[in-house]
Structure 1
């Protein structure tokens, strides 16, 4: 399996014409989009992507054997060939997407007539050796070929030392792709991509160790290390209270500012709160993956969380800030890099039902993380849910390869496993006991 990772290296402020380069590149892409739109009837007949690209290039670039139909070379003189080809590829993709969406709109399969946008936000790729060179003597310096308003010249750029140290420490020996220019928060970055070949765990389900994760709002995550027979090997509560306190303090300042001055000049404060929330999700994902890796887990199991409709109630702001999907995506990427798999189970009733099979729980009104079972037992609600999540994974995976006859026999002995949305940890223990007795017989 191929895993692609990327990292943005900040370009330190200095007198280099990045804005001129970005402007001329986007102007070129916009010009080429108009060319492709005018010639689309001709280009669309060419099915082969490479031949279509060659035909588009012949329309705008003159050679000894070809005379261009459009004056692209005069409008954008001396543009590097790799950058021109990148712009042509971007323009072809934009027009092809527009034509496809327009056809769907004509067939009434798409709402709203699509619009072809010429004022694009394309970012140039600095191909190695011809657009980008690494400095040999200075580790934190590189050379970029940029447009200074008159000609394309080589300029030395200083890269942030901490970013380069990170790449040298974690990605030395791995070949990176050509860097792409990126703009974030009015600052410029060079984004490097790395492709790794990894082999994911192929252990049988009976030999697997999983890390079941319940993502929460009060407690960031609760992890449980579990075997296929229901043996719990470890538990961990992951929480970052200081980071959340900082974010909620910022939200409080935003609320006070809006009451006093309105919401006209508050966007920068919201952006800061958003960045704090993104950093929190990264820390949670890293802590989950590290804990699973330290306990030699083969699979990380999450709930399939999909919230629809308008969020209302007392905790609506916390629910809106809950980056559950981002945490799962980050964990999936980090887990695949280390050979672990990621799986998801149905989220219905994982927190509502007690892990010991005694029925529904009652949440504590003062401490929402705690709950009371029907037997009077008080327990951590998220930990109970983590047990149920792991149990549902093993129930599904252990029943899946069995024949219909054997599965029916087991479901008759353990009726609760028929309905996956009501399975709990106690059902896994009963199923394991029945499977063990069948194997012994």
Structure 2
């Protein structure tokens, strides 16, 4: 719009709704006087019948539509003793697992809209090809292709966040655990390289924001844990993992076991939440507290094996 803003239609003065919210009556100026006009409502998402409808905003781009905010007080979901731990990655967009308090993993899920990502990467290749033909990029360079890639990215984030939240609610999780990647900046990849472009298109912050909004609306919570070391340490406590150079999502443990690196990270993310909640560690740094008898000993990172119950030691018996 020319004014760079959208007008707010105050309820009762400029807009009225019928009882079933199928018709909106707008007060519009026809050039001579203000008249009421009936407009059919086409909902694009679910309606909150228990919420309070606030004053809508008239949004005018190519089409004209009403943005109606609703004040909702969600009911707190009961604690089921399990959380949904989500690892957001480059190779697989989101990997989720249901982790219980005793370290049991009851469900796993991979969320990677490959078709949409291929459509976005196709636009990215066009931008990269055009950028290599000139040394200096002009103002507004490849504006159309950037806009299309950005819109595809937004749709990917919306759909993936909805699938992750539905996965958590389906399995009875009231908490979604994410890595705290706020302020993280990529260091790998040369300037104008494909890897650098993939990092710039990585929508980890947007995905976290949408997951938090959708989960809060459903009555759940989102908790962030310390991110460093979730992928580099094995969930079974065997030590550091070694990533395959040809297939980076494959991790080899110190005991020779091969496992999916994203699943391994999601297990450790869930374990760090339970370690923090059960006071196994005093800080959200992803490490167990140091031993009082050996304060110089390095602290052990929290992995899924930290939650596993230990077998009681047999009592010492003296020889007859």
Q: Which runs of 5+ in 2 are unaligned?
A: 283-287, 314-320
Residue 171 of structure 1 deviates from its aligned partner by: 3.4
Residue 123 of structure 1 deviates from its aligned partner by: 2.8
Q: Tell me if the contact between 1:292 and 1:300 (Cα under 8 Å) persists in the aligned partners.
A: yes
Q: Tell me if the contact between 2:82 and 2:173 (Cα under 8 Å) persists in the aligned partners.
A: yes
Q: Per the alignment, do residues 366 and 182 of structure 1 end up closer, same or farther by CA in structure 2, a change over 3 Å counting?
A: same
Residue 388 of structure 1 deviates from its aligned partner by: 0.6
Q: Per the alignment, do residues 134 and 312 of structure 1 end up closer, same or farther by CA in structure 2, a change over 3 Å counting?
A: same
The number of residue pairs the alignment matches comes to 300
In the alignment, which residue of structure 2 is the partner of 1:374? 254
Q: What SS does the corresponding residue of 1:343 show, helix, strand or coil?
A: strand
Deviation digits for residues 167-226 of structure 1, max 9, x if unmatched? 5x5335644211113355x554321101111232463xxx51111111111111111111
Q: Which runs of 5+ in 1 are unaligned?
A: 1-18, 27-120, 403-407
State TM-score, norm by structure 2: 0.80
Q: Tell me if the contact between 1:311 and 1:319 (Cα under 8 Å) persists in the aligned partners.
A: no
Deviation digits for residues 209-244 of structure 1, max 9, x if unmatched? 111111111111111111101111111111111111
For 1:219 and 1:348, locate their aligned partners in 2 and report how far apart those are by CA, in whole Å: 18
For 1:137 and 1:345, locate their aligned partners in 2 and report how far apart those are by CA, in whole Å: 43
Q: Tell me if the contact between 2:99 and 2:105 (Cα under 8 Å) persists in the aligned partners.
A: yes
How well do the aligned residues superpose, as a CA RMSD in angstroms? 3.5
Q: Greater helix percent: which structure?
A: 1
In the alignment, which residue of structure 2 is the partner of 1:423? 302
In the alignment, which residue of structure 2 is the partner of 1:245? 118
In the alignment, which residue of structure 2 is the partner of 1:405? none
In the alignment, which residue of structure 2 is the partner of 1:115? none
Q: Tell me if the contact between 2:17 and 2:24 (Cα under 8 Å) persists in the aligned partners.
A: yes
Structure (1 or 2) with the larger CA radius of gyration:
1
For 2:70 and 2:83, locate their aligned partners in 1 and report how far apart those are by CA, in whole Å: 28
Q: Per the alignment, do residues 165 and 243 of structure 1 end up closer, same or farther by CA in structure 2, a change over 3 Å counting?
A: same
For 2:178 and 2:276, locate their aligned partners in 1 and report how far apart those are by CA, in whole Å: 14
Say if 2:27 is the partner of 1:145.
Answer: yes
In the alignment, which residue of structure 1 is the partner of 2:276? 396
For 2:180 and 2:291, locate their aligned partners in 1 and report how far apart those are by CA, in whole Å: 24
State TM-score, norm by structure 1: 0.60
Deviation digits for residues 289-328 of structure 1, max 9, x if unmatched? 0111110012111111124456441622111111112211
Residue 258 of structure 1 deviates from its aligned partner by: 4.5
Q: Per the alignment, do residues 312 and 410 of structure 1 end up closer, same or farther by CA in structure 2, a change over 3 Å counting?
A: closer
For 1:307 and 1:409, locate their aligned partners in 2 and report how far apart those are by CA, in whole Å: 26
In the alignment, which residue of structure 1 is the partner of 2:236? 356
For 2:215 and 2:88, locate their aligned partners in 1 and report how far apart those are by CA, in whole Å: 17
Q: Tell me if the contact between 1:221 and 1:237 (Cα under 8 Å) persists in the aligned partners.
A: yes
Q: 1:298 aligns with which of 155, 170, 174?
A: 174
Deviation digits for residues 262-305 of structure 1, max 9, x if unmatched? 75562122111100001001111111101111100121111111
Residue 372 of structure 1 deviates from its aligned partner by: 1.2
In the alignment, which residue of structure 2 is the partner of 1:384? 264
In the alignment, which residue of structure 1 is the partner of 2:285? none
Residue 134 of structure 1 deviates from its aligned partner by: 4.2
Say if 2:106 is the partner of 1:225.
Answer: no
Say if 2:150 is the partner of 1:277.
Answer: no
Q: 1:181 aligns with which of 58, 67, 71?
A: 58
In the alignment, which residue of structure 2 is the partner of 1:346? 226
For 1:187 and 1:260, locate their aligned partners in 2 and report how far apart those are by CA, in whole Å: 37
Say if 2:89 is the partner of 1:216.
Answer: yes
For 2:114 and 2:182, locate their aligned partners in 1 and report how far apart those are by CA, in whole Å: 25
Q: What SS does the corresponding residue of 2:83 show, helix, strand or coil?
A: strand
Deviation digits for residues 344-374 of structure 1, max 9, x if unmatched? 1100100011111121111111111111112
